[in-house]
Amino acid sequence: MGIIQSFKDTINLLKNTSMRLSYILMGLAIFNVIFIVGVSILAGYTGNLLLDGEVLPGKTFEGEFLVNDIKDMTFIFSATESIYLTEQLKITIIEPNGNSSSSMMMFRITPKGEQRTTFTTKPKTTGKYHINITNAEFPTYLKIKLGMINIKSSFVWSWVIGWIIVLFGISKYLGGSGFVLSKEESLIAMLLSIVITSFAIYYFST
């Protein structure tokens, strides 16, 4: 009887722990979704537009823009196609002092409306920059903004802020109803949320 009762107690403990962890992860997930959606909507309205153009297949896109402040510079690539396509854009940036740097950026689109991808860099100096882009496989629109909110880094902040709110908000609120979060459960929930958030960061950054 003692073994059976001990087994039942273990099962009940696992059920209670799973339910508590589900509250934690659900609260964190809801906050992250609201936070990231809000940031994504607002991001397009932030920053100063430096350049706006279209990269066409078989042609070299050339442009120049003036940087007057050392802030994050965000390159926004977007396209609308009805099939699956992938391109490997070669981006060459020439600085005001004549130094140049090149990088390759993969842009993959699917037939589900407008697709976009971004990458962010910080200029080393102010002045007039030149940019060349080649290897386009389909018409790709480009916008370059200075000082725009970095959506990808916002995932990290959403996890940190969300975790604080969940622990000190939801847990405290539910504490009056017998909700008690042990150290072990806090650690497990935190590790799970780190894994989930890391996957989200990786998924949205590719």
Mean pLDDT estimate for the chain: 76
3-state secondary structure (DSSP) of residue 116: strand
Q: What is the pLDDT of residue 149?
A: 74
Half-sphere exposure (CA, 13 Å, Cβ side) for 139?
Answer: 6
**Do both 127 and 65 map to the same domain?**
yes
CA 198, CA 28: separation in Å to the nearest integer?
Answer: 14
- The model's confidence at residue 115, banded by pLDDT at 50, 70 and 90, is confident
Q: Are residues 140 and 81 in the same domain?
A: yes
Max CA distance (Å), the chain: 82
Final residue of a structural domain among 126, 148, 170 = 148
111-118 average pLDDT score: 80
- Residue where a domain stops, chosen among 123, 148, 173: 148
Residues 57 and 138 in one domain: yes
Average pLDDT over residues 95-117: 87
What pLDDT score does 101 carry? Answer: 92
Nearest one of 26, 32, 13 to 184, comparing CA atoms: 13
Question: Is the same domain home to 123 and 94?
Answer: yes
Question: Which CATH number belongs to the domain containing residue 141 in this structure?
Answer: 2.60.120.260
Q: What's the total number of domains in the chain?
A: 2
CB count within 10 Å of CB 55 equals 24
Which among 105, 128, 148 is the end of a domain?
148
- Identity of the highest mean pLDDT range in 32-36, 131-135, 152-156, 186-190: 131-135
pLDDT average, residue stretch 33-53: 76
Domain limits at 164?
2-41+152-205
Residue 191 vs residue 76, higher pLDDT: 76
Q: Quick one: 80 and 167 in the same domain?
A: no
Average pLDDT of the segment spanning 31-37: 68
Q: Classify each residue of 188-202 as buried b or exposed e, where b means 16 or more C-beta atoms within 10 Å of its C-beta.
A: ebbeebeeebeebbe
Spatial strand order in the sheet of 100-109? 61-67, 127-134, 85-94, 100-109
Q: Assess whether 81 and 16 both reside in one domain.
A: no
Shared-domain flag, residues 53 and 128: yes
Q: Identify whether residues 35 and 89 lie together within a single domain.
A: no
